[in-house]
Amino acid sequence: MGSVGEDRYAERARRELTAAGVDCSHVQTAAGEATTIKYLVVDEDGEVMVLANDGANEAFAADDLPESTLSGAEHLHLTSQRPETALALAEAANTAGLSVSLDPGRRLDRRDYGAVLACADVVFLNAREADTVEADGQLQANDRLTVVKQGDDGAEVRWDGNVASQPACDVDVVDTTGAGDAFAAGFIAARLDGADHQAALAVANACGAIAVQTVGARTTISWDDVESHRTT
């Protein structure tokens, strides 16, 4: 679910997502708006700087998603939507009995996601973000999983005073674009498949490792690829 503008970039996005097997029926078109475009500048270490226009990326509103769509789902994953949109979607998902995860990304510093955090079962953060929200007392629910991405130091899951950690995979980093999204997708997929915290973290690390070895934000990941990269 999301939104695009009314231009050739929107047509291309829909076409390529559909070709990849993604259902685009809940991608809204913002009439007269430009599609959000991001340019990625990658340095020699694979680190990324993002340049972007505002575009129609946040035109999607919570009431654009029919209740029947949530009732047929298992899980809702939110990224850096506007806090009010993310909160409305998270509350609707909670009501429908779905599990909810949130990865606010770098916008956590500029937006108040406190109410959304309270609705989430799983929160994905980097080490700095985790320290910030924990210091603010926003991650106190005992049953919530806080998944902390630590780059070369691997990752860990924190819950109810417990910690499970996983070392990073030993790979050559080409481009970190999309690695966080791949990591989150791996963790969610593994959890929905019944994996425990440790096993899900191993899958997530493997997905992130696969993503950093290729140029660009798109990575084709199979379960065979994941198994070949898992450290445990």
- Contact by Cβ (8 Å): 210, 225: yes
Q: Burial, 232: exposed, middle or buried (Cβ in 10 Å; 0-12, 13-18, 19+)? A: exposed
Q: Is-catalytic flag, 181?
A: yes
- What letter would DSSP give residue 63? G
**CA neighbor of 29 nearest in space, from 63, 62, 56:** 56
Q: Are strands 122-126 and 99-102 parallel, antiparallel or unpaired?
A: parallel
**CA neighbor of 101 nearest in space, from 66, 146, 62:** 146
Q: Which amino acid is at 41?
A: V
Instruction: Given the residues 181, 193, 224, 225, select the one marked as catalytic.
Output: 181
Rg of the Cα trace of the chain? 18
Give the catalytic positions in this structure: 181
